[in-house]
Amino acid sequence: MKVLLINGSPHKQGNTFLALNEVAKTLEQNGVEAEIVHIGIKPVRSCIACGQCKMKNLNQCVFDDDICNRISEKLDTADALIVGSPVYYGQPNGAVLSLVQRMFFSAGAKVQNKPAAAVCVCRRGGATAAYQTLNMCFEMMNMPVVTSQYWNIAYGREPGQAALDTEGMQTMRTLANNMAWLLKKIYANGNPDYPEREPWQPMHFIR
């Protein structure tokens, strides 16, 4: 079993990384492989709703000039996903939000039914709004949202400060323990045991 953790901060070793690393260490203590991937500091395209990924059945974005498809490929071998982000103006980092939206639209089949969680790090406020924004993406993809003892939030502004948030770090460890527990239940019989789902019945207006 493997969990892919996305560090959506421009700072590779910043406070978002510290929170995700606490999760990763605890996952590995539970026998679950963890990989943290950093989105980097290069531009990440936003989705332009061209629909080419669907029309051409690409299972990836038609634009291949940033990190989006590289991370989508990692979903092939991941059994769960955790997305971490700093909080900017009460929202996730724009780059990681663009990444998640494009990745889920173009390669959504790769995340269906896989457990997911958001982790947000802030100086003082806005973390719950950013956290809810990321969770809404998971809920549209049939991804069970993994919880903790509190919202998956840590506090810190200067490098390293998040590690001083003792409750925040405990929240990260509890999240990891819950994620490992759920994955072990899903894979109890070897192959993943996912629920059967009705065919989607889209409706684009209210009668």
Q: How many CB atoms lie within 10 A of CB 133?
A: 17
Mean pLDDT by 10 residues, the chain (207 residues): 98 98 98 98 97 95 97 97 98 98 97 98 97 97 97 96 98 98 96 92 84
Is 142 exposed, middle or buried (CB count within 10 Å of its CB: 0-12, 13-18, 19+)?
middle
pLDDT of residue 207: 72
Is 2 exposed, middle or buried (CB count within 10 Å of its CB: 0-12, 13-18, 19+)?
middle
pLDDT of residue 158: 95
Residues 6+ apart with CB under 8 A from 13: 159
- CA-CA distance, 43 to 20, in Å (whole number)? 22
Domains present along the chain, CATH in parentheses? 2-186 (3.40.50.360)
The answer to whether 108 and 101 are in contact (CB under 8 A) is no
